[in-house]
Amino acid sequence: MRLILAPMEGLADQSLREILTRLGGIDLCVAEFVRVTNHLLTEKMLLRTVPELASGGCTRAGVPVRVQLLGSDPVCLAENAAFIAGLGAPGIDLNFGYPAPTVNRHGGGAVLLQYPEQIHTIVAATRRAVPEHIPVTAKMRLGLEDTSLTLDCARAIEAGGADEITVHARTKTDRYRPPARWEWLAHIREAVKLPVVANGEVWTPQDSEKIRQVSGCTDVMIGRGAIVRPDLMRRIKTGERPCTGRNCFPGSSITATSCAPGWTRSMRRGGSSNGWE
């Protein structure tokens, strides 16, 4: 089983990735998205979002950090992906889930879930541009407003040559309303052969077990749960006892103030005011 730290714009930046990967249990991080419009990004811009690129694309604990791109222009996405691969990124992830109207208006993020053919073109162009040994992956929601095109989108990602697909088991319209629709992960697994990573509403080791049982997925991506319980991934891996706020950061003076109930409630609602709610 691999545990993957979810991209979370405004929350999971390099500092948080450092702390969480030091705590253990995380096999891979996906950095918050980098927006691609109509030009080639510079190394300086990329290092602002993914400073790990300056040190082999890994956190100090040695955990690889994939770079996530958000955009709708296949040529521009592919050219940027090739450039980022050249900087030493251990993987490129394509975002098909961002819900904010500012980006959706320009044809990027979740709005692409209405156009499987465009998704296919983007994935195929990016896969062609990136050296074979570097994974090109995609992250999607189930759809924009409903699940009518979920399987078409997943198949388009597979046909485009992606190495893996992560599915946040909700539509954009579902926002962050629980429960996540884990049963859809199983439908997607039946429709495609590429590995499917399960994502959405994993807050405890029990949730992690359950999402794997319901979906049949081996790998799980966790976002808000890893912030509310910084040792969650390690506990899932090792089966150790719950965090009490004192045993979260062994050997450090940091305490898990993020375990406070108010913070937990706010995280469950989406956790931010930056368009992800």
Ligand X SMILES: Cc1cc2nc3c(=O)[nH]c(=O)nc-3n(C[C@H](O)[C@H](O)[C@H](O)COP(=O)(O)O)c2cc1C
DSSP 169: E
* Identity of the amino acid at 217: C
N- to C-terminal Cα separation, the chain: 29
**Cα dihedral 210/31/12/269 (nearest 10):** -50
Contact string (CB under 6 A) for ligand X, positions 118-137, x = contact: --------------------
**Binding of ligand X at residue 104 (CB under 6 A)?**
no
Contact string (CB under 6 A) for ligand X, positions 7-26, x = contact: xxxxx---------------
Strand partners, 137: 93, 164
* Identity of the amino acid at 188: I
**Binding of ligand X at residue 219 (CB under 6 A)?**
no
Place of tokens 């950061």: 249
Q: Reduced to 3 DSSP states, what percent helix, strand and coil does the chain have, rounded to the nearest 5?
A: 40, 15, 45
Q: Which of 199, 205, 212, 248 binds ligand X (CB under 6 A)?
A: 199
**Binding of ligand X at residue 164 (CB under 6 A)?**
no
Binders of ligand X in range 258-277 (CB under 6 A)? 270-272, 276
Question: What span, in angstroms and rounded, lies between the C-alpha atoms of 64 and 216?
Answer: 25
Q: Which of 68, 121, 126, 171 binds ligand X (CB under 6 A)?
A: 68
Question: What span, in angstroms and rounded, lies between the C-alpha atoms of 153 and 162?
Answer: 12
Q: Which of 97, 160, 205, 230 binds ligand X (CB under 6 A)?
A: 97
**Binding of ligand X at residue 165 (CB under 6 A)?**
no
- In angstroms, what is the minimal distance from the CB of 199 to ligand X? 5
* Number of chain residues interacting with ligand X (CB under 6 A): 25
**Binding of ligand X at residue 223 (CB under 6 A)?**
yes
The site for ligand X (CB under 6 A) is made up of 6-11, 32-33, 68, 95, 97, 139, 168, 199-202, 222-225, 270-272, 276
